[in-house]
Chains A and B, each alone.
Chain A
Amino acid sequence: MNILDNDITAELQTQVKQAISNQTPLYIHGGNSKLFYGNTVDATPLDISAHTGIINYDPSELCITVRAGTKLSDIETLLAENNQILAFEPPHYLSSSNNNQDTATIGGTIASGISGPSRAYTGSVRDSILGVNIINGSGEIANFGGEVMKNVAGYDLSRMMVRSQGTLGVILNISVRVIPKPEQNITMTFEATQSEALSYFQNLRKNTLPITATAWLDNIALIRLSASEQVLQSCKEKVKGDERLNADSFWQDIRDHTHEFFTDSKNNDKPLWRFSLPPATPAKIQLDGQQLIEWDGAQRWIYSNAPDNIIQGIASSFKGFATHFKDATSNNAGNKELARFSELDPALFVLHKQLKNKMDPLGIFNPKRIYRGL
């Protein structure tokens, strides 16, 4: 294990305490690779990216405990050496403010709660989290959850830190469950219209095949399966299409948004919307612009200039949600406060505000990052 510098933890705590006593809000961030995800926080930066290191890792415990600033790539390299992976296949978006470097940290991954291609099959960020250590709204360090698989002592505040985007506290350390790395992956692919692909994915869901990703774009359906060689051989007969060789880079590009779909300038002159729908939603979303489907249809990426209310209306008509994921590249109005996430039901929003108020009474942590008023 590497040497952990305790001065860095103390320094972060001092900065938080100072912010509390001065009542000056903080913008908590790690590698800034997900800077675009949410509203811009106009506050004093609190940089977590130097708070790095592996605190505890024993492969037979299926758990790794790390400092929040630790780079995802470092964690994944260590896990791979022990034939393990993070179940939720988190994205490593390239940081535009850091020369397109891979700066994604585990802290940002947990705070944003964005999962990758395997999410629909092996679980989400929140499904994997076991414990957190945070600096709370009083500037104290507190521990919730732990490193064991089952733990029902106290409210599950560790899972609630996922996708709270730094608005409830400063995440210092994180314990996540890890899973064995599958021996091999194969990807099967065939030509299909969107509705053909959706209906095929839907049928697959009722089987127990070792599927770990699906995608549809450009009239091509892709299915990734992960298991031992022998099991995968038998899967080839059960899944439609031909094997696509060397598909790992394809899935990585989908995961990291480095695929042409996300980088092509003819797409990203419009904002990128992410639809989250019930998995079996058979319908095509009737919007202009190219679409990429993942998670059997539960996650759909669409570049569209349609007005927000039209887009939110479509999402809610399918009992789903739409997120204004990323601005159009031509949009330089960085500070503009948009409704990036679907609006919450008023009574639910009241609960959110009460919770925020109890956990961060002075409104120090990432104000307005998700919603105005939080």
Chain B
Amino acid sequence: MNMSLDTQIYNKLILQLSDILPESFLLTSEEELRPYECDGLAAYKRLPVAVALPDTIEQVQAIVKVCSQLKVPVVARGAGTGLSAGALPHEGGIVLGLSRFNKIDSIDTDNLTAVVQPGVRNLAISEAVSPYGLYYAPDPSSQIACSIGGNVAENSAGVHSLKYGQTVHNVMQVKIVTIDGELITLGSETLDTPGYDLLALITGSEGMLGIIVEITVKLLPKAESIKVLMASFDEIEDAGHAVAAIIADGIIPAGLELMDKAAIHAAEDFVHANYPLDVAAILLCELDGDDIQLAEQVEKVDAILRDKKAVAVEIADSPEEQARLWAGRKSAFSAAGRISADYYCMDGTIPRKQIAHVLKRITEMSEKYGLRVVNVFHAGDGNLHPLILYDASIEGELESTEKFGGEILELCVEVGGTVTGEHGVGYEKLDQMCVQFNEAELTQFFAVKLAFDPDSLLNPGKAIPTLHRCAELGGMHIHNGELPFPDLPRF
């Protein structure tokens, strides 16, 4: 079997895990392990020594205890839709799959919360609480497939994070199993919990501090009405200025998304959203609220867009029209995959006022490297997703792409931003972390890790680079336009 784990330890591990789990819950043969070799970022692949698929918290505790005693790494995995190789297996460790934890335990329509197991799909929560007029706000684009446990581990966000926050703002309580096998509750059902905010710490910790086994999410009443505005611009910089102007005017849209000409064309060819093809950029602005408030805001936003040189503003009232406008945006990644052999997706976030400047610099870099770029992103949050188009079969093109991507992320940090807004560091962005954090900061991160996991057994080698590692660049590599889950909408 796998050579990176001592045979004697491997045999002990399998023997002890077999005692805990029914036969079908423990995968050990290569063909069974193969589906777990990567997550949504298929550029990185490794086989684990085994995959454990428990269905009770007691089993999770027992598995972790065994691994802790034998010093075997544990990589927790939800639906495996992550985009930064956060769930990439460790070659000498097990994957702890939480897909059997797929039940919504309870819905509390008084406290507006739901207690869910980590394997529950994000969208399944909103579907389950919809009859009560409620929903769960964070909506990563992969929400039909991604699991809530993974969302907490990555602090996932979506189109509506601008107004309704990220996962960290929408979770009340999380139960974790520590590396010692202890079950610990972080947060509470109240609005203030005594002690340190370990709930915030665990959110976005990428499986490095504990295994998330239960989540209490916050539910919101659905907005009365929704409007979507689409504004077209002849200059992309004008679209960038319009974003800043809307926010500066005191309006927080539910979503505010920007697509450049290349993205518009790719999306239009793919889904026929009826986007204008002769413009440099479009801005999609979703507003929600009660009818009076909405009417006021639509009027204001419309005026701002025109003031910032929008050549046309279309207002979608009906759910069908709104879905059409969003369709192009939601399929933009897949659409990019159709016009290029490969693409490389960045996830930097920048201050809004830098949008126009950064887009201009990206255009200049694109000319310098001779590589096309498609820009489609969460403009309201300043979260960029430039897709660099390349062809891995052309010698040297991948290397230039990686250099180009690295230059974009360095630019994001330089203008006061971050290398990752929502996809996480995982295995993919370890090198870029060195650009953003200095030695004292990285040391502090390791100290936190060791407080929870002294032997570094929980998802080792992810999220925080070791001090001597600061060399090569990484990214989201898509080969021949094949997304790991091509049918999922992507942002």
Contacts and interface: CB of A to CB of B under 8 A. Distances in A.
Contacts of A231: 290, 292-293, 296
B351 A61 contact: yes
A84 B245 CA distance: 15
B440 A140 contact: yes
Given A144-B441, A151-B418, A319-B188, A126 B196 contact: no
B175 to A, nearest CB: 11
B192 A124 contact: yes
Interface stretch (A1-9, A91-99, A339-347): A339-347
A160 B191 contact: no
A143 B247 CA distance: 26
B383 to A, nearest CB: 5
Interface in B189-233: 189-198, 200-201, 203-205, 209, 221-224
Interface stretch (A22-30, A243-251, A350-358): A350-358
A153 B436 contact: yes
A351 B425 contact: no
A157 interface: yes
B168 A156 contact: yes
B200 A153 contact: no
A163 interface: yes
Interface string A237-269: 000000000000000000000000000000000
Contacts of B154: 152
Given A140-B440, A154-B441, A359 B447 contact: yes
B166 interface: yes
B157 A150 contact: yes
Given A277-B190, A280-B110, A355 B196 contact: yes
B448 A355 contact: yes
Interface size class of B (residues with CB under 8 A): 35 or more
B248 interface: yes
Interface stretch (B45-53, B114-122, B177-185, B399-407): B177-185
A162 B196 CA distance: 8
A154 B112 contact: no
Contact of B224 (A61, A164, A208, A342): A208
B44 interface: no
B247 A357 contact: no
Nearest to B415: A148
A250 to B, nearest CB: 21
A12 B448 CA distance: 24
A41 to B, nearest CB: 17
B5 interface: no
B452 interface: yes
A136 B451 contact: no
Interface in B236-257: 244-245, 247-248, 250-252
Nearest to B450: A358
Contacts of B440: 136, 138, 140-142
B190 A142 contact: no
Given A59-B248, A347-B184, A206 B204 contact: no
Interface in B94-136: 108-112, 133
A152 B155 contact: yes
A206 to B, nearest CB: 6
B188 A321 contact: yes
B380 to A, nearest CB: 8
B190 A354 contact: no
Given A150-B157, A207-B221, A351-B452, A295 B191 contact: yes
11 contacts: A60-B245, A119-B191, A148-B349, A152-B423, A153-B429, A155-B448, A321-B193, A342-B194, A344-B195, A351-B198, A352-B198
Given A276-B193, A299-B192, A355-B198, 16 more contacts: A61-B352, A61-B353, A142-B440, A150-B166, A153-B433, A160-B200, A160-B201, A234-B292, A276-B188, A279-B111, A321-B193, A344-B194, A345-B185, A351-B452, A355-B448, A370-B195
